[in-house]
Amino acid sequence: MRFDIGVRRRLGDRTIAFTCRSDARLIALTGPSGVGKTSVLNMIAGLLPPDEGHIAIGGERLFDRAAGIDLPVAQRHAGYLFQDLRLFPHMRVEANLRYGRRPGGALSQAEILAFLGIGHLLHRMPASLSGGEAQRVAIGRALLSAPRFLLMDEPLTGLDQARRAEIVPLIERLRDEIGLPILYVTHELREAERLADIIVEMPGD
């Protein structure tokens, strides 16, 4: 599935621009804090409209300013892993996983639970989870939305070394076994070099 993206958006006194055309399994988007990496993900997901440009994934145009195309968020079928995870604190893991679930995904719920190793967490509350467990649940919720691609916003931020060592191999398995193309934001170059097929750097000032 091909990423074909060229977008530009003015936010305050900064112009955010991103261009990428690739069939890579995992594209890492790097650069210093504040250059607009998360804004790029939000543009692709449909949460932030670009001022100009286009977004096509797998041959489908999600956005094209010149052609007047701007698909709603739900029709873009992006699995979005937010940096702050956004698990609902008042809902058990099972209910968090059900939220936003759509039919037609590549994997069944049972397969996703087994893949992520989270079946034993279903009756837990988010506050009782470790950082690595919460990250796995958030990934599971994204996969259960039947996504065509994944957007991952600094998924290792806030994790200690042990939890990082737990999650990185999982991301490698997502890349290699699940077959969903991934756009992955990180400010850690070593992390990008390990995980990505290609690295796109957004320069700072």
Residue 9: its H or E element: strand 3-11
Class for the domain spanning 3-201:
alpha beta
Average pLDDT (156-163) is 83
6-62 confidence digits (pLDDT tens): 999 998 888 999 999 999 999 999 988 888 999 999 999 999 999 999 999 988 999
pLDDT at position 72 over 80? yes
Report in angstroms the alpha-carbon separations of 162 from 11, 87, 126, 130.
37, 22, 19, 11
Three-state DSSP at 56 gives strand
Domain ranges of the chain: 3-201
